[in-house]
Amino acid sequence: MKRLLRAEILRLVGCVLLGALLGYCWDRPALGAAGALLLLLGRHIWQLQRLVRWLQAPDDAPPEAKRLWGEVFDGIYHYQRRQKADQNQLAQLLERIQNSSQALSDGVVMIDHKGDLEWWNHAAEKLLGLSPSSDRGQPITYLLRNPQFVDYYDSQNYLEPLVLPSHLDEERFLEYQITLFGENDRLLLVRDCSKIKRLERMRQDFIANVSHELRTPLTVLSGYLETFSDYADELPAQWQRGLALMTQQSTRMEHLVADLLALSRLETSDFKAEVEPIHIAELLDAIRVDALALSDHQHTILIHADMQLYLRGAAHELRSAFSNLVFNAVKYTPQGSTIELRWYHDEDGAYLEVKDNGPGIDSKHLKFLTQRFYRVDGSRSSQTGGTGLGLAIVKHVLLRHQGRLKISSSAEQGSCFTCCFPLSQTLLGEAV
Ligand code: ADP
């Protein structure tokens, strides 16, 4: 290119000199040089015009030209071909993506930044009953009107999917998962999870039924064991030990069945958020009395509670959750330990904190603690009569009250279990 430019400049200088020489013959060298320049300019304008005409019809072959203009036409021509090839490739890729999305069994819906439907695949058409002729461009919340979906859509918090009964068929369950992309555009994935839901329901029903059926024989066994225990002194020594063990294990089983029933009630019953505000400070006082009885007054339990702060919810559920935490603090800390209960709020939420100065829990266990039957130390827990279900119950109760459980603990440092609630779930004294 540099070479061509240099040649073009030389040609310009040569033409001007030649023009000046010709002009010199008529005693007008300047006029001759200007004429030569004009001729050159005219030629460039003509080439420019050919370029413009060609760009207006880019499918035609490029104009024929030599030297610098030839290079310009060639350059543009190759650039255009590359562009066209890239465009074709992109169009093919887009078609492949659309075809593969169409083949998915899960529904895919693209929603623009205004919340209007842009594109969807066949599965979405079937799952959501969308019609390509009338629904394109409609707001998604106009087609999926369930208030829970609208809240989920507006929340912009899409970490967890939302499961709802299908609006087309109550027997079916759909899982919605939204992902944000581009400038506030959304991709909605819809999956039919009816089978998983049915299995989950069967599991819940099975546990509830088994626990229920176990209750009667267990009550009979415990009743007889209690009667036998009254005459334990008259039994031979090795029978006495057996009787004590049987009594201990039947009590454990009773706790287990009670906890399993409590869990399945929490899982299966619909939560009717009670409007009655609960005075948590009073509730903590009552729990403290029970916890001191459990500890045989060998622990110190301190309460710092905001007397004006109420929590909306189901009193018996909250009592069971908070008692679980306080009883754990008693069970898993040695005699003489101090347990602090705090109930307070800040600008982000309200918190019920149960803190102890016991042996603590190694951090590697923390994320598993709320799983059913998970215990840090099986032998220690069975000594304490634990079932491994307590924290699972706490987690479920909190979920039903829009809350969550935060656990911080480390070996030898004591543990702190915090129930966090949104402020919307609370009321201040004057408002009660
Ligand atoms: P469990 O019925 O066995 O008490 P939980 O679900 O209530 O079951 O607790 C799970 C495990 O967490 C317990 O087995 C225990 O090892 C541990 N844990 C709970 N609370 C505490 C605490 N305050 N200090 C130490 N360990 C605890």
Query: In this predicted model, what pLDDT tens digit does every residue of 99-109 receive, in sequence order?
Result: 888 889 999 99
12: left (phi over 0), alpha (psi -120 to 50) or beta: alpha
Q: For 324-339, write each residue's pLDDT tens digit.
A: 999 999 999 999 999 9
Quick one: pLDDT at residue 379? 53
pTM above 0.75, yes or no: no
Fold classification of 277-431 is: Heat Shock Protein 90 (3.30.565)
- Taking all residues of the chain, what is their mean pLDDT, rounded to a whole number? 91
Tell how far the Cα of 315 is from the centroid of ligand 1, in angstroms: 23
Return the residue whose CA atom lies nearest to atom 13 of ligand 1.
375
Distance CA 128, CA 143 (A): 8
DSSP assignment string, 373-386: T--SSHHHHHHTT-
Q: Please work out whether the CB of residue 358 comes within 6 Å of at least one atom of ligand 1.
A: yes
Quick one: pLDDT at residue 381? 57
Quick one: pLDDT at residue 8? 84
Among residues 343, 335, 357, the alpha carbon closest in space to that of 303 is found at: 343
Q: Please work out whether the CB of residue 295 comes within 6 Å of at least one atom of ligand 1.
A: no
Distance CA 376, CA 365 (A): 7
CB atoms within 10 A of CB 204: 15
Quick one: pLDDT at residue 2? 79
Higher-pLDDT residue of 156 and 417 is: 417
Query: H helices of 180-310, where?
Result: 194-230, 237-268, 280-295
Tell how far the Cα of 210 is from the centroid of ligand 1, in angstroms: 25
Tell how far the Cα of 38 is from the centroid of ligand 1, in angstroms: 97
Distance between the two ends of the chain, CA-based, in angstroms?
85
Q: Who contacts 430 (Cβ-Cβ below 8 Å, separation ≥6)?
A: 308
Quick one: pLDDT at residue 237? 86
Q: Give the burial string for 142-168 (b: 16+ CB within 10 Å, else e).
A: ebbebeebeebbeeeebeeebbeebee
Mean pLDDT calculated for residue range 9-28: 89
Q: Please work out whether the CB of residue 377 comes within 6 Å of at least one atom of ligand 1.
A: yes
| Residue 183 backbone phi and psi in degrees, to 5 | -100, 85
Whether the pLDDT of residue 432 is over 90: the answer is: no
By most ligand atoms within 8 Å of CB, the mutation choice from 328, 333, 363, 369 for ligand 1 is 328
Q: Please work out whether the CB of residue 328 comes within 6 Å of at least one atom of ligand 1.
A: yes
Q: Please work out whether the CB of residue 370 comes within 6 Å of at least one atom of ligand 1.
A: no
355 near 414, Cβ under 8 Å? yes
Q: For 293-306, write each residue's pLDDT tens digit.
A: 999 999 999 999 99
Tell how far the Cα of 386 is from the centroid of ligand 1, in angstroms: 8
How confident is residue 179, by pLDDT bands cut at 50, 70 and 90?
Answer: very high
Q: In the structure encoding, which two tokens stand for residue 320, read together?
A: 């069971």
Quick one: pLDDT at residue 375? 87
Tell how far the Cα of 273 is from the centroid of ligand 1, in angstroms: 28
DSSP assignment string, 138-160: SBHHHH---HHHHHHHHH---SS
CB atoms within 10 A of CB 415: 23
342 near 306, Cβ under 8 Å? no
Distance CA 219, CA 333 (A): 31
Q: Who contacts 353 (Cβ-Cβ below 8 Å, separation ≥6)?
A: 340, 341, 342, 343, 344, 416, 417, 418, 419
Q: Please work out whether the CB of residue 387 comes within 6 Å of at least one atom of ligand 1.
A: yes
Cα distances (angstroms) measured from residue 15 to each of 21, 27, 46, 217, 422: 10, 18, 18, 117, 86
Helix, strand, coil % over all residues of the chain, rounded to 5: 55, 20, 25
Same topology between domain 196-268 and domain 277-431: no
Distance CA 321, CA 262 (A): 11
According to the CATH classification, is domain 104-192 in 3.30.450.20?
Answer: yes
DSSP assignment string, 294-360: HHTT-SEEEEEE-TTEEEES-HHHHHHHHHHHHHHHHHTS-TT-EEEEEEEE-SS-EEEEEEE-SS-
Tell how far the Cα of 293 is from the centroid of ligand 1, in angstroms: 19
Among residues 165, 260, 164, 270, the alpha carbon closest in space to that of 205 is found at: 260
Among residues 110, 102, 149, the alpha carbon closest in space to that of 126 is found at: 102
Q: Please work out whether the CB of residue 388 comes within 6 Å of at least one atom of ligand 1.
A: yes
Mean pLDDT calculated for residue range 402-413: 90
How confident is residue 156, by pLDDT bands cut at 50, 70 and 90?
Answer: confident
Quick one: pLDDT at residue 172? 93
Q: Please work out whether the CB of residue 390 comes within 6 Å of at least one atom of ligand 1.
A: yes
Q: For 246-292, write each residue's pLDDT tens digit.
A: 999 999 999 999 999 999 888 887 766 556 899 999 999 999 999 99
Quick one: pLDDT at residue 61? 84
Q: For 355-393, write each residue's pLDDT tens digit.
A: 999 999 999 999 999 999 898 876 555 566 688 999 999
Q: Please work out whether the CB of residue 326 comes within 6 Å of at least one atom of ligand 1.
A: no
Percent of the chain with pLDDT over 70: 96
Return the residue whose CA atom lies nearest to atom 8 of ligand 1.
388
Quick one: pLDDT at residue 320? 95
Among residues 400, 325, 326, 410, the alpha carbon closest in space to that of 370 is found at: 325
Q: For 55-95, write each residue's pLDDT tens digit.
A: 888 788 888 888 888 888 899 999 999 999 999 999 999 89
CB atoms within 10 A of CB 304: 12
Distance of CA 280 to the CA centre of its chain: 30
By most ligand atoms within 8 Å of CB, the mutation choice from 375, 405, 419 for ligand 1 is 375
65 near 48, Cβ under 8 Å? no
Fold classification of 196-268 is: Helix Hairpins (1.10.287)
Quick one: pLDDT at residue 164? 94
Q: Please work out whether the CB of residue 415 comes within 6 Å of at least one atom of ligand 1.
A: yes
Amino acid at 153: Y
Percent of the chain with pLDDT over 90: 66
Could you state, in order of their start, the residue ranges of all structural domains in the chain?
Answer: 2-98, 104-192, 196-268, 277-431
Q: Please work out whether the CB of residue 401 comes within 6 Å of at least one atom of ligand 1.
A: no
Q: For 339-357, write each residue's pLDDT tens digit.
A: 999 999 999 999 999 999 9
Whether the pLDDT of residue 142 is over 60: the answer is: yes
Tell how far the Cα of 333 is from the centroid of ligand 1, in angstroms: 10
> What is the sign, positive or negative, of the torsion defined by CA atoms of 313, 315, 321, 323?
positive
Q: Are strands 338-345 and 300-305 parallel, antiparallel or unpaired?
A: parallel
